[in-house]
Amino acid sequence: MLQKIEETQKQFAQDVLAVTDQKSLEELRLKYMGKKGLVTMLMPLLKDVPNDQKREMGMKINAVKNEIESTLANLATELEQQKMNAEIANTEKIDITLPVDNGVGSLHPRTVIQKEVEDVLISMGFVVDMGNEVETEFNNFDAVNVPSTHPARDTQDTFWLSNGEVLKTHTSAGQNRILSKYKGTCKVIFPGRCFRNEALDAGHENTFFQMEGVIVDKNVSVANLIYFMKEMLSKVFKKEVEVRLRPGFFPFTEPSFEMDVKCPFCGGTGCSTCGGSGWIELCPCGMIHPNVLKMAGIDSNEYSGCAFGLGFDRLVMIKSGLNDIRALNSGNLKILKPFKLNI
């Protein structure tokens, strides 16, 4: 038994010299630490060792196992550092001698803040998946628990195309595609432009941006949702914000909630931007309805999930100090170009 352990140790010392990239490192890990790896298969051999030697042999096997695991971890770190160094070395250099051009444009407030929000959510373990602007009727309505007879369709006066597809009315139209793609555990955000036949005012546009997110796993609960929403908003605003949570209704979540932010323009006293309420609706959210999970091929008895939406244009207004949503689509450079974030 001792000879077998020593042979495995010597063989690993030779094989590790041949590792040059992540692929060969993974092959080495599987060879020794996989289900049928050389180290893994040492443990069953203990049954043939005399009882008075079992403890000693077991300790030797564990010592070899720990040594190999440590070596593999160090190699992984070293290879990742080598990869980063190579990328840095090949990065295009910036010519700082170029003259300053005062006519160079600036990023739109939406672009700047979308990048900020995505960075926050990515740091919390999310991946970004862009949605479609033109969707099927099934994805936009039926797959999110809004069949043709559902009264919720009446609240979305929709722009239909001649081929029967629709300009998506909400980012929830991407839920079925995203959930069907991952078929289980996932944390995904999908921002996008939406379209509705709205009466235009300081707080409503017919073309606007939203950002949707879903978390699916085993045993996801309302407590997880509330904790995440508070953490997300504090990171997005980089400060404590006054919010309120109230019951809501969305066909694709049950239970459903509305998370509002106190209006920064009037301090809660009421103005045209907040419709006189003192609050701006920012984050509709809730637990994903079992029907939505089932239509995506996910077992709702095993998995649960929560979904949240950001009224993204309203967030842009709050952070950039704009008090009229129509300015975002106006192309008015006097308003958009000099904008600064209120952070």
pLDDT one-digit tens code per residue, 275-292: 888 888 888 899 999 999
The sign of the torsion formed by the CA atoms of 277, 281, 287, 290 equals positive
pLDDT for residue 229? 80
Q: Compare 258 and 319 and report the one with higher pLDDT.
A: 258
Higher pLDDT, 319 or 162: 162
- Over residues 32-57, mean pLDDT: 83
pLDDT of 23-43, one tens digit each? Answer: 898 888 888 888 888 888 888
What are the pLDDT digits (tens) for 160-188?
999 999 999 888 889 999 999 998 899 99
Q: Alpha-carbon distance 19 to 274, whole Å?
A: 61
Instruction: Kindly indicate the confidence band of residue 341, based on its pLDDT and cuts at 50, 70 and 90.
Output: very low
Query: What dihedral angle (degrees, nearest 10) is formed by the CA atoms of 136, 138, 141, 147?
Result: 150
> Percent of the chain beyond pLDDT 90?
23
Q: What is the DSSP letter of 142?
A: G
- DSSP H stretches of helix in 125-269: 137-140, 175-182, 222-237
> Rounded to two decimals, what is the model's pTM?
0.61
Left (φ > 0), alpha (ψ -120 to 50) or beta: where does 219 sit?
left
What is the percent of the chain where pLDDT is above 70? 93
For residue 287, the cross-strand partners are 306
CB of 292 closer than 8 Å to CB of 259 = no
Quote the longest CA-to-CA distance of the chain.
86
pLDDT number for residue 342: 42
Residue 82: count other Cβ atoms within 10 Å of its Cβ.
12
8 A C-beta contact, residue 42 and residue 61: yes
Question: What does the DSSP 8-state code read for residue 201?
Answer: B
Q: What is the mean pLDDT of the chain?
A: 84
Domains of the chain, with CATH numbers? Answer: 2-90 (no CATH), 109-336 (3.30.930.10)
